[in-house]
């Protein structure tokens, strides 16, 4: 039975426990807190949208563009891009990054730490984009706001970086959950799209965060499904070939959307020209088809209930796809999941209508095809089939659609990946090819922080010491001697304590019982032994950060710095390549009560 000490219940003890790979109770606590923070932030964001809509939208509805006069709804996108251009693009390029792509980038290359300016910008940019009539969703801001707020909690508490990764996933799942009332889809999205891995240690905290965020959102907005649809079934199995055709069409549309979004030629245009194109193109289409503006959930609901004309469905399938992709390519930071659901629903509804014309006796209701198209488009654009299926189930509360849903999502994902060469919108937006988060070694090493495997048995010393001082250094049986240099520009060195003990023994034997001269000292840089050149690394760093830093061939090991004031920092431990390799390749809990902190002197002699 595990024993707990008083130190385990302190903040420092909490940090120490989080450094290990098995800190499940501590991570679950963080998940609960993250869900509460993110749920409150999402409610605040939705209230901001509703408050802004009161001023000029019919009945204060953020989706009520159809009720505006044509000149006003066409003017709104031009005003929106003008505001974004004047306020946002006067800032540094790094401050303009927002949304899900920004979350993945910070998780991949910045240990899950977020700049405050980007987080503050995301609030007003999300409101301006949606209420300004651009084709934009609210899930991008929701994920960014939730992930950054959760990560900020960890940074404020100075938690190790491996726990920041989990907090980012918790904030992501909670943002999706509170925004769509889809707690399960939020969990799957966080693991499949953002974390790009499935592990028990991440799943449980993320589930708790998603649950808490959904509860907070339901306290304000109720527990109704996002879309009310009539009871429909697929009917005859003769519809399955048509479902496959729908998957092929949606997969091609998803590939077209991603390719336009990543258009290098347009991205090379001057900023004012890109923004002008986005504003004018959206305004022109909105004059005749206001359904392309905003998030478009009202249009999705109408498509699911067969309430849209064919010309409107065509506009949503073609014009909204092109407008949304143009907006992304133009550099406007918008959420794309909502628009992809609208595009998919319209495509599916058109496919259902066409199927009804071709096979009137066997074809299913167009509403069920709208549901299938919605899931297929989301899955193909994100290359996240499981998240799309869970979103389909939770958004519609229609479980019997899952069988054809699995078929259409897989076909659409394969078509988008294999025929159009798209690996997913957010992966391509960060880096083409293998993403850093998909590398198995780096995934495993990023789950643990350096305190879990560092060698703590060490003493600090100057280069030259007397014989008495040298013997005192060995009294506590350290493994390493950290040799501090007189000049800060010189590297700190590490020497095995066994090398000093061996040299003292040989020196005493050479003296044959005589006392050493009074003025004789021991130069720790001259005695035989392997000395490792060290570089500092923070106590919060993960093993993946240490591994990358040790790729420099000149470094033999890293010394772990503890403390936040430069002049009062202390060395808490040392970490070598051998320690990282032993953690990754083998760890037997039966050999030691705490395998992460065990010391193997023999292994420490391996080449580093």
Output the domain CATH number for residue 578: 3.10.580.10
Cα–Cα distance measured from residue 587 to residue 264, given in angstroms and rounded to the nearest whole number: 47
Whether 459 and 519 map to the same domain: the answer is: yes
In a domain, 34, yes or no: yes
Q: Which residues of the chain have pLDDT under 50?
A: 1-2, 4, 429-433, 587-608
Whether 461 and 319 map to the same domain: the answer is: no
Cα–Cα distance measured from residue 303 to residue 313, given in angstroms and rounded to the nearest whole number: 8
Whether 292 and 399 map to the same domain: the answer is: yes
Whether 462 and 574 map to the same domain: the answer is: yes
Whether 578 and 496 map to the same domain: the answer is: yes
**Which pLDDT score, from 0 to 100, does residue 289 have?**
95
607 token code pair = 């080449």
In a domain, 462, yes or no: yes
Cα–Cα distance measured from residue 84 to residue 90, given in angstroms and rounded to the nearest whole number: 9
Whether 373 and 505 map to the same domain: the answer is: no
99 token code pair = 């949304």
Whether 109 and 11 map to the same domain: the answer is: yes
The b-or-e profile of 354-366 (16+ CB within 10 A means b, else e) is: bbbeeeeeebbbb
In a domain, 425, yes or no: yes
Specify the DSSP element, H or E, that contains 557.
strand 557-562
Whether 340 and 373 map to the same domain: the answer is: yes
Query: Which residue matches tokens 């780096």?
Result: 442
Whether 20 and 51 map to the same domain: the answer is: yes
The answer to whether 585 touches 466, Cβ cutoff 8 Å, is: no
Instruction: Fill in the DSSP letter of residue 55.
Output: T
**Which pLDDT score, from 0 to 100, does residue 372 have?**
95
Residue 259 exposed, middle or buried by CB count within 10 Å (0-12, 13-18, 19+): middle
**Which pLDDT score, from 0 to 100, does residue 437 have?**
62
By three-state DSSP, how is residue 229 classified?
A: coil
396 token code pair = 């519609």
Please give the residue range of the domain that contains residue 535. 448-604
**Which pLDDT score, from 0 to 100, does residue 487 have?**
73
C-alpha R_g of the chain: 29
Query: Which residue matches tokens 């849903």?
Result: 405
Domain count, the chain: 3
In a domain, 489, yes or no: yes
Whether 256 and 209 map to the same domain: the answer is: no
Q: What share of the chain is helix, strand, coil (3-state, %, to 5)?
A: 65, 10, 30
In a domain, 227, yes or no: no
């Amino acid at each position: 039975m595990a024993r707990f000490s008083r130190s385990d219940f302190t903040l420092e003890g909490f940090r120490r426990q989080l450094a290990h790979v098995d800190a499940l109770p501590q991570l679950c606590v963080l998940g609960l807190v993250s869900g509460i923070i993110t749920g409150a932030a999402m409610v605040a964001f939705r209230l901001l949208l509703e408050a802004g809509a009161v001023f000029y939208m019919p009945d204060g509805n953020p989706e009520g563009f159809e009720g505006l006069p044509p000149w006003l709804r066409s003017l709104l996108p031009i005003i929106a891009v003008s505001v974004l251009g004047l306020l946002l693009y006067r800032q540094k390029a790094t401050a303009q990054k927002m949304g899900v792509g920004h979350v993945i980038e910070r998780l991949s290359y910045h240990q899950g730490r977020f700049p405050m300016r980007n987080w503050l910008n995301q609030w007003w940019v999300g409101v301006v984009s949606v209420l300004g009539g651009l084709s934009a969703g609210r899930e991008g801001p929701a994920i960014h706001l939730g992930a950054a707020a959760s990560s900020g909690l960890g940074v404020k508490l100075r938690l190790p970086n491996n726990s920041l990764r989990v907090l980012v996933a918790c904030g992501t799942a909670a943002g999706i959950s509170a925004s769509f009332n889809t707690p399960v889809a939020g969990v799957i999205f966080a693991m499949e799209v953002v974390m790009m891995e499935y592990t028990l240690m991440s799943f449980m905290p993320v589930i708790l965060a998603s649950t808490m965020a959904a509860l907070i959102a339901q306290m304000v907005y109720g527990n109704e499904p996002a879309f009310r649809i009539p009871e429909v079934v697929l009917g005859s199995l003769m519809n399955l070939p048509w479902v496959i055709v729908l998957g092929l069409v949606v997969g091609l549309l998803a590939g077209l959307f991603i390719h336009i979004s990543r258009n290098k030629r347009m991205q090379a245009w001057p900023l004012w020209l890109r923004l002008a194109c986005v504003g004018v193109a959206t305004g022109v289409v909105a004059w005749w088809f206001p359904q392309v503006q905003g998030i478009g959930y009202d249009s999705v609901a109408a498509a699911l209930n067969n309430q849209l004309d064919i010309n409107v469905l065509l506009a949503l399938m073609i014009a909204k796809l092109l407008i949304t992709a143009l907006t992304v390519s133009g550099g406007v930071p918008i959420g794309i999941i909502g628009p992809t659901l609208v595009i998919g629903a319209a495509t599916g509804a058109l496919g259902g209508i066409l199927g009804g014309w071709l096979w009137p006796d066997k074809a299913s209701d167009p509403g069920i095809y709208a549901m299938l198209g919605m899931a297929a488009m989301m899955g193909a654009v994100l290359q996240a089939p499981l998240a799309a299926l869970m979103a389909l189930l939770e958004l519609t509360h229609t479980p019997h659609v899952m069988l054809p849903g699995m078929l259409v999502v897989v076909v659409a994902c394969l078509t988008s990946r294999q025929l159009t060469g798209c690996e997913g919108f957010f992966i391509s937006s960060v880096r083409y090819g293998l993403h850093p988060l998909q590398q198995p070694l780096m995934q495993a090493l990023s789950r643990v922080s350096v305190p879990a495997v560092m060698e703590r048995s060490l003493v600090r010393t100057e280069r030259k010491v007397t014989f008495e001082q040298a013997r005192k250094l060995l009294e506590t049986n350290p493994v390493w001697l950290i040799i501090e240099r007189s000049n800060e520009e010189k590297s700190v060195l590490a020497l095995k304590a066994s090398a000093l003990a061996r040299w003292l023994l040989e020196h005493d034997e050479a003296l044959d019982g005589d006392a050493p001269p009074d003025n004789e000292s021991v130069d720790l840089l001259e005695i035989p032994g392997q000395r490792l050149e060290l570089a500092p690394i923070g106590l919060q760093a993960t093993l993946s950060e240490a591994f990358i830093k040790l790729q420099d061939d000149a470094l033999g090991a890293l010394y772990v710095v503890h403390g936040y004031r430069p002049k009062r920092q202390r060395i808490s431990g040392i970490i070598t390549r051998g320690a990282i390799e032993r953690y990754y390749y083998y760890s037997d809990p039966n050999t030691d009560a705490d395998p992460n902190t065990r010391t193997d002197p023999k292994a420490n002699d391996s080449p580093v």
